[in-house]
């Protein structure tokens, strides 16, 4: 991950029309942004679509970034709004869809195992907590950057992350992962 000053310099060049700067931004920021969407969505296809939509929207609104401001909070604010728009659109579609054929009977439940599906575990968190954890731990953003991207105070970000960590700890313990297993 590039330092914030490097990202700012790339963004200035991108605003001036430098295609190499645009490519460098995409290459540098896409992996973390894609992981952010993977944690937030139910499928890789949606995460891919959301990533592409983010870069399209960023390209259209690149002149709104103010030189000297951090790049990642601005980018994640755009990504966050795209994710929200996507889920609103999907919920409208799902409410209007009608089941044509009955679903086949479901398979019998499989016995629980001790493997850990991080995506499924994070999916049990409320959206706001999952979003904060994804930005802090997956994207590697600071508290200040997450606060800017989510339009929350730093205290609210700390509270959401603390509650998320407590919930995750409880769920891991319930799954049989103790302190010894977490290390």
pLDDT tens per residue, range 91-142:
777 777 666 666 566 655 555 555 677 788 888 899 899 999 988 988 888 9
Distance CA 42, CA 134 (A): 14
Local confidence band at 9 (pLDDT 50, 70, 90 cut-offs): very high
pLDDT value of position 1: 46
1-5, 82-86, 141-145: which has the minimum mean pLDDT? 1-5
Distance CA 73, CA 71 (A): 6
- Cβ-in-10-Å burial (0-12, 13-18, 19+) of 178 comes to exposed
Q: With pLDDT > 90 as the criterion, what percentage of the chain qualifies? A: 44
How many beta carbons lie within 10 A of that of residue 177, not counting itself?
Answer: 15
Question: Residue 65 in contact with residue 74, Cβ under 8 Å?
Answer: yes
* C-alpha radius of gyration, the chain, whole number: 19
Distance CA 6, CA 21 (A): 10
141 three-class SS: coil
Task: Work out the angle between the directed axes of helices 44-60 and 19-40 (0-180°, nearest 10).
Answer: 140
Question: Residue 36 in contact with residue 79, Cβ under 8 Å?
Answer: yes
Fold designation for 4-95+116-177: Rna Polymerase Sigma Factor; Chain: A (1.10.1740)
pLDDT value of position 155: 94
Mean pLDDT for the stretch of residues 135-152: 89
pLDDT digits (tens, 9 = 90+) for 16-42: 999 999 999 999 999 999 988 888 766
CA-wise closest residue to 87 among 55, 47, 115, 114: 47
pLDDT value of position 182: 47
pLDDT value of position 101: 67
Distance CA 138, CA 135 (A): 6
pLDDT value of position 16: 93
């Amino acid at each position: 991950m590039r330092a914030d000053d490097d990202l700012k310099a790339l963004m200035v060049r991108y605003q001036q029309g430098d295609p190499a700067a645009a490519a460098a931004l995409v290459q540098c920021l896409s992996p973390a942004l894609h992981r952010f969407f993977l944690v937030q969505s139910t499928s890789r296809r949606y995460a891919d679509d959301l990533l592409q939509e983010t870069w399209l929207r960023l390209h259209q609104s690149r002149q709104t970034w103010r030189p000297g401001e951090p790049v990642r909070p601005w980018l994640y604010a755009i990504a966050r709004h795209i994710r929200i728009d996507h889920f609103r659109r999907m919920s409208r579609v799902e409410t209007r869809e009608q089941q044509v054929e009955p679903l086949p009977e479901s398979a019998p439940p499989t016995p629980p195992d001790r493997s850990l599906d991080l995506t499924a575990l994070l999916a049990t968190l409320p959206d706001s907590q999952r979003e904060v954890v994804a930005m802090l731990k997956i994207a590697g953003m600071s508290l200040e950057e997450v606060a800017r991207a989510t339009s929350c105070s730093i205290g609210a970000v700390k509270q959401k992350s603390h509650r998320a960590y407590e919930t995750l700890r409880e769920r891991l313990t319930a799954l049989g992962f103790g302190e010894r297993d977490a290390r």
